[in-house]
Copies of this chain bind each other. A is one copy, B any other.
């Protein structure tokens, strides 16, 4: 499960980390993900979800992905429903508090068609951080005593050699691919995020490949005006895709809030028959549109405008 250090170093060394433009389409970026890869998603719940890349991976008919994220929302349903992933590692998995327990998650896990590997939220964060730091584990003082540890492969108890205290060593997560959506980045992949940072910087550093989607690709000069705002350096990034409203129907800080009518409609659609509902949703919203703009068109101009109006208000009011 933990990558031996020699492998981690060799894989990183083999990447083209040079200063180069790496702007491409969603489809081209999707080709960087292999079946069976461990794909880590930035953002959290409904916020800064890299939905455009999730959408592109499902359209590209990826299979057997292991998906990890701090907290998983509807994108997890789509992974299960499409068969792109049968295994999600996360701390909490449902559309969002207001919509109750995800019926799709329930259906797929309760029928044994898919697995939801549950770790505490902090443990997941520390695992990405260990991966980002290039160490095989970091100790935590959480999760002990609970039944969670009995159902997951990985953590080891240890008596601290300094203090004698009991500790839980949580193993590094070094995803094969990180999908991260940001407000802006340059063509090289220098990314600047506003608002909640979530676990994105650690995920990018931990992963072996990083696919960035951005509301807007800006010039390198623009990035260089405020280098202390850069949170992901270009040397870690393998693909840059401009994807306006790239989190829709989720939100992107300062740009748009969640598309609530669409999210309500989705919840209604899956509540009747989760499996059929999510498959119909996938057909209509993921497979059929000819491109990302056609998908946004399905969400509706009124919803795009309303989400953007609300999103900007949080920032500027």
Chain A residues proximal to chain B, CB less than 8 Å:
1-2, 4-5, 126, 133-141, 156, 158, 160-163, 165, 167, 169, 171, 194-197, 228
Contact = CB atoms under 8 A, between A and B. Distances in A.
30 contacts: A1-B162, A2-B163, A4-B163, A4-B165, A5-B163, A5-B165, A126-B133, A133-B138, A134-B141, A135-B138, A135-B139, A135-B140, A135-B141, A135-B167, A136-B139, A136-B163, A136-B165, A137-B139, A137-B160, A137-B162, A138-B138, A138-B139, A156-B161, A158-B161, A161-B169, A162-B171, A194-B228, A195-B228, A196-B228, A197-B228
A119 to B, nearest CB: 16
Contacts of A162: 1-2, 136-137, 156, 169, 171
Given A138-B139, A156-B162, A158-B161, 9 more contacts: A2-B162, A5-B165, A134-B141, A135-B138, A136-B167, A137-B139, A137-B162, A156-B161, A194-B228
A28 B171 CA distance: 45
A54 B287 CA distance: 64
A160 B169 CA distance: 10
Contacts of A138: 133, 135, 138-139
